[in-house]
């Protein structure tokens, strides 16, 4: 068996992920090899002939750690059956040690091997590697790592939420921003950040059927995430578990809950993050839970992180809202009555915050002191003025309310991002000649249900719609009706009888046809003028390129009304949304419209109070709809009073607290400032375009700020899975990327850029070079060995060790065999190097070869000592940071049960892992250059 043939027990290292540590072959069969990396707990399976792996066999003189973490030096090596056996000297004693007992080693120098064997690189490649090695720590250690790459507008509240959750262990939260404020974007930012930083690798997104492809496209277009759709055929395959075939999935919620075996497939996978969109459909009551809820409850218990998305959290009532909180933290939310009582106490906290916010240094401290612990009262005495005000705001928000579990931003907070909306009602005379025209109850709201075939010709709303569309023939119009059958009849009638380009969009259509309808409506040149949507079919879909909304009928709940309006009134809308509501006079349609408009002001704004009050008065509302000709002014006044009172309670309590904890303008501005700094830095663009050219990848300017990148026949191209054969157009400008969906946006976090940088950061390109220089700074005959070492911190990626230290490389130059304290710069060597013939220089390299490895060991020991000094200090700093945060959370938990105990436990484990990794830093030879002076 050859040395480089895979065999169980051998030690290998990953070229692409050196920070995984030393790996051991667990299994090698069927052209695949499985390697376990014990230091990081990572298991990887590779294709043998394409594995980015290097065989690790230590040489005599190498330092190793073996057995029970004993240190020693290799004094002999023998090979048998593909495995290495070592003689190791430790404490004047010689041990026979098989390679399976080697834990780590510090003298593997692949770059030196390439230099000695004459496989050294061009000077330009060496320089490019040095540049990227020096620059890479800036992105790896950034606190906004994972938020730089998404192709989204820099909306403050969205980035605030994503960034505030970036340090949380397995976040379990409810994202409940009002309709149109970007919950999908927030979820995408969180998913992307957790994937890029290694905090998550397996993600499952559950969505309504109508949103499957929308999520697929959004994740690919905005976040460059290639997710897979779970299908029934895949789940019916008895040979494999479909959920184990990939890492990132989108699955229709209805499919997962339609069969117990499908749910078991999902439960057998270890999910890092589960996302549930349109979570308001999940019903729960104190004495009964729906089947869908029971399914998601099991999945939520198995998942580490959980994101629930809904704009209308209380649409199904307070009990269902509480049920969703139970999914997030069942230990915290186990008593519905206690939770309701707790919510009533939020007013005192908000009153205190209002006083602090308004007066800063002149407020009654008495009521505030009652909300603080004894330790906090002691801290309070040492603070004054603005410092005290800021400290109190932070303490009160941290210690009270559901701010760590629920996020909700409203239009009031981000009004500048939305152009607003207005409503115009259109009264239509009752068809008195139609003796059987229904006016009362549900039949009055939706007369087409009882009128049967031919209802369209008889319905005044349909004729009004035709005239409206003719008057707005140059506008895109979205029409929403409650029932699918209503949509189908209108589409046929408008198309065949009136020649109007109309598209239908409803739950009876398959996903492909729905997407085609949406695309036809979006086409600005030859597309449909009107899109007719059903209630369910339109849920979650966004059509903000239109600003005209026609409510062909009204839904039976104000939250559903807000969801309809939110299809257009959302971030990205450029025009004021015009809402048109035709109704037939003297029917239930007029009654419901007046209730929504006069009692709830539901057409011009949303409020959680609307749903709660409507729910409490459904019987009275139904009586009103059943007798539409009666005077309903008393009911409207009654509802209006209740709405105002409920809004006042919410605005003084929970809603205002949620508002405060869901967005911090200063913190958001800081986050966006860090992201924009990467946007504005031209370094990546300059380096990448130069590097592409050097490796035979063409980049051609197509238009302003847009280039075409396409492959040539260079061998490096074969290693780039993210470079399609036909190439792609790209930009480095966020604004261009937002305006041009056909253009890739290249950032540090784009898959193509990350893969390309990996070839330099961990691959062999640019690792070795030799140069002859002529400069007064060096005497002829001087031999320099320039070694660049990277700190090798072996730790799971999820620990984000780079956040606690700067993983900067160290350049060590040896002059005639000794470390040179004040060496000439790399740039001087670049500038004074002479053109050389490879063969004569290589002969010199070979003559010096016996001396080079001892010289590199000297440099490595110097680098290791330098790193150890810095990284031990970094470990102490990290310990202080962790201790402060752990102490803060432990103190918080005494007053605010929303702090999960497992979050504190995870932080303690992270602390131990980071400190251990930092104190075990090693020096990895990244690149080497032999310099001869003449």
Domain boundaries, the chain: 11-108, 156-332, 347-402, 418-662, 681-748, 767-933
Q: Dump pLDDT digits (tens) for 722-764.
A: 888 888 999 999 999 998 888 999 999 999 999 888 877 667 8
Instruction: Please give the class, per CATH, of domain 156-332.
Output: alpha beta
Name the pLDDT band for 799 (thresholds 50, 70, 90): confident
Instruction: Please give the class, per CATH, of domain 11-108.
Output: mainly beta
Structure letter (DSSP) for residue 597: I
> Ranked by mean pLDDT, which of 715-719, 786-790, 922-926 comes out on top?
786-790
930 has pLDDT over 90: yes
Name the pLDDT band for 184 (thresholds 50, 70, 90): very high
How would you write 449-460 as a 3-class SS string? HHHCCCHHHHCH
> Ranked by mean pLDDT, which of 185-189, 446-450, 702-706 comes out on top?
185-189
Q: Dump pLDDT digits (tens) for 866-911.
A: 999 888 898 999 898 888 888 877 876 776 666 778 888 888 998 9
Block residue for tokens 């400069």: 775
For the entire predicted model, the pTM comes to 0.80
* H/E stretch holding 15: none
Residues 6+ apart with CB under 8 A from 841: 770, 772, 932
Mean pLDDT of 261-280: 93
Phi then psi dihedrals of residue 482, to 5 deg? -70, -45
The CATH architecture annotation of domain 418-662 reads 3-Layer(aba) Sandwich (3.40)
767 has pLDDT over 80: yes
1 has pLDDT over 60: no
pLDDT, position 329: 84
The least confident of 689-698, 742-751, 787-796, 804-813 is 689-698
Could you give the residue ranges of the DSSP H alpha helices within 707-770? 734-739, 751-761
CA gap 482, 891 in Å, rounded: 50
Helix (H, G, I), strand (E, B) or coil at 915: helix
Q: Which long-range contacts (CB under 8 A, 24 or more apart) does 295-298 make?
A: 295/256, 295/257, 295/263, 296/206, 296/257, 296/327, 297/326, 297/327, 298/263, 298/267
Cβ pair 591, 442 in contact under 8 A: no
Residues 6+ apart with CB under 8 A from 669: 156
Q: Which long-range contacts (CB under 8 A, 24 or more apart) does 670-677 make?
A: 671/144, 671/147, 671/159, 671/160, 671/163, 672/154, 672/156, 672/159, 674/142, 674/143, 674/144, 675/144, 675/147, 675/148, 675/154, 675/159, 676/154
**Where does residue 845 rank: exposed (0-12), middle (13-18), buried (19+ CB within 10 A)?**
buried
Q: Which long-range contacts (CB under 8 A, 24 or more apart) does 624-628 make?
A: 624/591, 624/595, 625/440, 625/441, 625/442, 625/444, 625/445, 625/588, 625/591, 625/592, 626/440, 626/441, 626/588, 627/440, 628/439, 628/440, 628/444, 628/586, 628/587, 628/588, 628/590, 628/591
Cβ pair 431, 460 in contact under 8 A: yes
R_g of the chain, CA atoms, integer Å: 33
pLDDT, position 518: 86
DSSP string, 147-185: SSS--S---HHHHHHHHHTTTSSS-EEEE-PPTTS-HHH
Structure letter (DSSP) for residue 719: G
CA gap 304, 272 in Å, rounded: 5
pLDDT, position 336: 83
Give the number of other CB atoms < 10 A from CB of residue 155: 20
491 has pLDDT over 80: yes
Phi then psi dihedrals of residue 549, to 5 deg? -120, 125
Residues 6+ apart with CB under 8 A from 906: 169, 170
* H/E stretch holding 36: strand 32-37
Q: Which residues of 344-370 are buried (b: 16+ CB within 10 A; e: fewer)?
A: eebbbbbbbbebbeeeeeebeeeebee
652 has pLDDT over 60: no
Q: Dump pLDDT digits (tens) for 81-116.
A: 888 999 999 888 888 999 888 877 655 688 888 888
Helix (H, G, I), strand (E, B) or coil at 629: coil
CA angle 104, 109, 115 (to 5 degrees): 170
Cβ pair 171, 140 in contact under 8 A: no
Mean pLDDT of 509-520: 84
The closest of 77, 56, 106, 345 to 859, measured between CA atoms, is 106
Percent of the chain with pLDDT over 90: 41
Cβ pair 714, 695 in contact under 8 A: yes
Give the number of other CB atoms < 10 A from CB of residue 471: 9
pLDDT, position 545: 86
End-to-end Cα, the chain, rounded Å: 47
Give the number of other CB atoms < 10 A from CB of residue 154: 16
DSSP string, 299-364: HHHH-SEEEEE-S-TTTT-HHHHHHHHHHH-TTTS--HHHHHHHHTTHHHHHHHHHHHHHHSSSS-
Helix (H, G, I), strand (E, B) or coil at 284: strand
Phi then psi dihedrals of residue 784, to 5 deg? -110, 140
Across the chain, mean pLDDT equals: 86
pLDDT, position 148: 96
pLDDT, position 933: 93
Q: Dump pLDDT digits (tens) for 698-711.
A: 888 888 899 999 88
Q: Dump pLDDT digits (tens) for 430-447.
A: 887 766 788 999 999 999
What crossing angle do the helices spanning 654-662 and 156-164 adopt, rounded to 10°?
90
Cβ pair 665, 156 in contact under 8 A: yes
Could you give the residue ranges of the DSSP H alpha helices within 835-900? 838-895
The tokens for 390 are: 């800021």
Q: List 868's β-bridge partners, or say none.
A: none
Instruction: Please give the class, per CATH, of domain 681-748.
Output: alpha beta
Q: Dump pLDDT digits (tens) for 67-80.
A: 887 888 888 999 88
pLDDT, position 341: 75
Helix (H, G, I), strand (E, B) or coil at 12: strand
CA distances from 92 to 72, 75, 85 (A): 10, 12, 19
CA gap 791, 868 in Å, rounded: 9
CA angle 441, 447, 453 (to 5 degrees): 150
Helix (H, G, I), strand (E, B) or coil at 807: coil
Torsion over CA of 146, 152, 155 and 161, rounded to 10 degrees?
Answer: -40
pLDDT, position 166: 85
User: What is the layout of strands, in order, in the sheet containing 728-731?
Assistant: 698-703, 706-710, 728-731, 744-745
Structure letter (DSSP) for residue 595: I
Q: List 458's β-bridge partners, or say none.
A: none
Q: Dump pLDDT digits (tens) for 582-635.
A: 999 999 999 999 999 999 988 988 777 788 888 889 999 999 999 988 888 999
Is 418-662 in the same CATH topology as 156-332?
yes
pLDDT, position 539: 65
More confident call, 254 vs 414: 254
CA gap 795, 915 in Å, rounded: 10
CA gap 732, 709 in Å, rounded: 12
Cβ pair 256, 295 in contact under 8 A: yes
The length of the chain is 934
pLDDT, position 106: 57
Structure letter (DSSP) for residue 208: -
pLDDT, position 504: 93
Mean pLDDT of 197-223: 91
579 has pLDDT over 80: yes
Cβ pair 13, 104 in contact under 8 A: no
CA distances from 254 to 212, 218, 230, 259, 518 (A): 11, 21, 12, 9, 22
pLDDT, position 730: 94
pLDDT, position 316: 66
Mean pLDDT of 331-357: 73
CA gap 618, 626 in Å, rounded: 12
The tokens for 751 are: 């898959």
The closest of 21, 24, 20 to 10, measured between CA atoms, is 24
């Amino acid at each position: 068996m050859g040395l480089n043939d895979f065999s169980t027990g051998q030690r290998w290292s990953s070229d692409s992920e050196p920070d995984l540590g030393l790996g051991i072959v667990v299994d090698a069969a069927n052209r695949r090899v499985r390697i376990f990396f014990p230091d990081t707990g990572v298991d990887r399976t590779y294709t043998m002939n394409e594995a980015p792996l290097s065989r690790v066999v230590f040489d005599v003189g190498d330092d190793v750690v073996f057995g029970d973490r004993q240190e020693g030096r290799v004094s002999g090596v023998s090979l048998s059956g593909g495995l290495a056996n070592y003689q190791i000297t430790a404490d004047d004693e010689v041990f026979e040690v098989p390679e399976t007992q080697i834990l780590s080693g510090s003298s593997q120098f692949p770059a030196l091997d390439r230099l000695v064997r004459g496989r050294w690189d061009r000077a330009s490649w060496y320089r490019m590697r040095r540049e990227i090695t020096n620059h890479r720590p800036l992105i790896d250690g950034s606190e906004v790592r994972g938020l730089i790459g998404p192709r989204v507008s820099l909306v403050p509240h969205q980035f605030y939420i994503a960034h505030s959750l970036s340090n949380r262990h397995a976040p379990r939260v409810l994202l409940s921003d009002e309709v149109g404020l970007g919950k999908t974007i927030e979820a995408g930012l969180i998913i992307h950040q957790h994937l890029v930083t290694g905090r998550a690798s397996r993600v499952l997104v559950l969505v309504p059927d109508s949103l499957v492809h929308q999520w697929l496209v959004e994740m690919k277009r905005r976040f460059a995430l290639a997710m897979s759709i779970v299908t029934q055929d895949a789940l019916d395959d008895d040979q494999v578990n479909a959920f184990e075939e990939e890492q990132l999935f989108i699955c229709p919620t209805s499919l997962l809950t339609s069969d117990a075996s499908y749910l078991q497939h999902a439960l057998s996978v270890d999910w890092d993050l589960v996302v549930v969109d349109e979570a308001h459909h999940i019903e729960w009551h104190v004495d009964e839970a729906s089947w869908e809820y029971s399914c998601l409850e099991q999945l939520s218990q198995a998942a580490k992180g959980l994101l629930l998305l809904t704009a209308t959290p209380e649409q199904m009532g307070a009990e269902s809202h509480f049920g969703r909180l139970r999914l997030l933290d069942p230990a915290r939310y186990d008593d519905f009555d206690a939770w309701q009582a707790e919510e009533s106490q939020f007013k005192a906290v908000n009153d205190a915050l209002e006083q602090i916010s308004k007066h800063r240094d002149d407020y009654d401290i008495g009521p505030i002191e009652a909300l603080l612990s004894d330790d906090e009262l002691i801290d309070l005495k040492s603070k004054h003025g603005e410092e005290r005000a800021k400290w109190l705001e932070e303490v009160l928000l941290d210690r009270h309310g559901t701010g760590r579990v629920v996020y909700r931003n409203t239009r009031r907070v981000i009004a500048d991002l939305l152009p607003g909306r207005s409503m115009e009602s259109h009264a239509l005379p009752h068809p008195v000649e139609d003796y059987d025209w229904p006016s009362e109850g549900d039949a009055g709201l939706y007369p087409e249900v009882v009128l049967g075939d031919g209802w369209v010709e008889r319905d005044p709303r349909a004729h009004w719609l035709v005239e409206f569309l003719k008057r707005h023939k140059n506008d895109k119009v979205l029409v929403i009706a409650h029932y699918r059958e209503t949509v189908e009849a209108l589409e046929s009638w408008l198309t065949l009888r009136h020649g109007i380009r109309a598209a239908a969009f409803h739950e009876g259509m398959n996903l492909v046809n729905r997407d085609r309808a949406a695309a036809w409506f979006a086409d600005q040149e030859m597309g449909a003028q009107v899109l007719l949507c059903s209630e369910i079919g339109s849920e979650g879909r966004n059509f903000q390129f239109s600003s005209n909304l026609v409510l062909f009928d009204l839904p039976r709940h104000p939250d559903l009304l807000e969801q309809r309006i939110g299809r257009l009134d959302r971030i990205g809308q450029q025009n004021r949304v015009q809402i048109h509501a035709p109704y037939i006079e003297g029917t239930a349609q007029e009654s419901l419209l007046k209730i929504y408009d006069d009692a709830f002001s539901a057409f011009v704004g949303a409020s959680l109070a609307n749903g709660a009050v409507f729910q409490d008065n459904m019987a009275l509302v139904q009586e009103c709809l059943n007798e539409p000709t009666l005077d309903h002014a008393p009911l409207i006044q009654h509802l209006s009073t209740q709405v105002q009172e409920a809004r006042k309670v919410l605005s003084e309590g929970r809603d205002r607290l949620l508002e405060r904890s869901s967005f911090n303008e200063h913190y958001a501005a800081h986050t966006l400032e860090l992201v924009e700094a990467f946007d504005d830095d031209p370094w990546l663009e300059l380096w990448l375009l130069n590097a592409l050219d050097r490796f035979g990848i063409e980049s051609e300017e197509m238009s302003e700020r847009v280039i075409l990148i396409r492959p040539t026949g260079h061998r490096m191209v074969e290693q780039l899975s993210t470079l399609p054969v036909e190439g792609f157009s790209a930009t480095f400008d966020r604004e261009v990327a937002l305006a041009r969906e056909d253009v890739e946006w290249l950032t540090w976090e784009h898959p193509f850029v990350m893969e390309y940088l990996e070839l330099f950061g961990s691959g062999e390109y640019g690792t070795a070079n030799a140069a002859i220089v002529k400069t007064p700074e060096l005497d002829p005959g001087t031999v320099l060995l320039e070694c660049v070492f990277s700190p090798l911190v072996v730790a799971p990626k999820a620990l984000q060790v780079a956040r606690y230290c700067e993983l900067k490389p160290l350049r060590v130059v040896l002059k005639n065999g000794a470390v040179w304290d004040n060496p000439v710069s790399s740039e001087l060597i670049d500038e004074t190097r002479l053109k050389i013939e490879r063969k004569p220089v290589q002969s010199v390299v070979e003559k010096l070869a016996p001396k080079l490895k001892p010289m590199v060991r000297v440099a490595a020991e110097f680098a290791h000592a330098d790193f150890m000094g810095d990284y031990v200090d970094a470990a102490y700093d990290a310990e202080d940071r962790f201790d402060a945060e752990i102490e803060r959370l432990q103190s918080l938990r005494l007053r605010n049960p929303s702090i999960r105990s497992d979050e504190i436990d995870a932080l303690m484990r992270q602390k131990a892992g980071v400190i251990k990794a930092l104190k075990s830093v090693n020096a990895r030879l990244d690149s080497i250059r032999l310099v001869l002076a003449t």
